[in-house]
Amino acid sequence: MHNILLLENDESLRHGIRFKLEKEGYKVISAAAIHEGKAALQTNEFQLILCDIMLDDGSGLAFCQYVREELLSSVHFIFLTAMDTELDIVMGYETGADDYITKPFSLAVLMSKIHSVFKRIDKTAKQKDNPVIKSGSLLYYPKEMQLFVNQKPVELTRNEYKLLQLFLNHPKQILSKAQILEQMFDIDQNYVDDNTVAVNIRRLREKIKDTNQKRIIKNIRGMGYVWDLEAE
């Protein structure tokens, strides 16, 4: 179950948000003040904190900074506040917030943002538990350096594996020749030349060719190359 800490001094809004979150299946601990939030952090593990900025005993900005520096650098943090000037928003992000929702807001919008946060969290956890990358008909196991295309094993060279890993880490993103060169060192850390990059990409293309003959690695003229499939 996903755990959420909610700090909001408006009692009606706090109860409304908590009711909606619990209805969606989340475990929620709510508080109206910073000292209550700090106490909750001592005895619970949270993946997400929803926090008003103007709290009864201090600033949510200071609480966010406390969380980032003293306790949980990786916990997701969303501000809920009526302070909606550009400076307020910038200060929120600079303090360490992941998102910033200004009041009044729709509960549907808030739920959408929260669902997105936990979708990313679950995806990261799944990748750690099951370290395999899937892209189209390809299955790649980074730790074992094993590649399967249409369920058949495919052998790659060291540089081809480097290329594959680079593309799978940046699907649908154009990678320049310079970016690719930075990832392709030989054993003495000397750069390979441009022609070697082109040769390795051509060979990798042939080895990962899909059954429908679709070109997965596309050349974007004057810009570089792109892996033209999603990877998860």
The total of other beta-carbon atoms located within 10 Å of residue 189's CB is 6
38 part of a folded domain = yes
106 part of a folded domain = yes
186 part of a folded domain = yes
DSSP state of 141: E
39-71 core/surface letters (b: 16 or more CB in 10 A; e: else): ebbeeeebbbbbbbbebeeebbbebbebbbeee
Query: Could you tell me if 87 and 10 lie in one domain?
Result: yes
Provide DSSP, 207-227: HT--TT---SEEEETTTEEEE
Residue 73: name the closest of 35, 46, 39 by CA.
Answer: 46
Q: Average pLDDT for consecutive 10-residue bins of the chain (232 residues)?
A: 92 94 94 94 92 91 87 80 80 82 90 87 67 86 86 87 88 84 57 70 85 75 87 82
Residue 103 maps to which CATH number?
3.40.50.2300
pLDDT of residue 181: 79
232 part of a folded domain = no
Domain boundary among 129, 160, 187: 129
Query: Could you tell me if 56 and 101 lie in one domain?
Result: yes
Domain limits at 17? 3-129
142 part of a folded domain = yes
Domain boundary among 70, 105, 129: 129
Give the total number of structural domains in the chain. Answer: 2
> Could you give the CA distance from residue 49 to residue 147 in angstroms, rounded to a whole number?
39
Please, which residues bridge with residue 232 across strands? none
The first and second tokens of residue 195, run together, are: 């022609």
Query: Could you tell me if 78 and 28 lie in one domain?
Result: yes
pLDDT of residue 15: 95
Query: Could you tell me if 103 and 12 lie in one domain?
Result: yes
> Could you give the CA distance from residue 131 to residue 6 in angstroms, rounded to a whole number?
33
Domain boundary among 90, 106, 129: 129
Residue 162 maps to which CATH number?
1.10.10.10
Query: Could you tell me if 161 and 98 lie in one domain?
Result: no
Q: What is the CA radius of gyration of the chain?
A: 23
Query: Could you tell me if 105 and 63 lie in one domain?
Result: yes
pLDDT of residue 81: 85
Query: Could you tell me if 172 and 65 lie in one domain?
Result: no
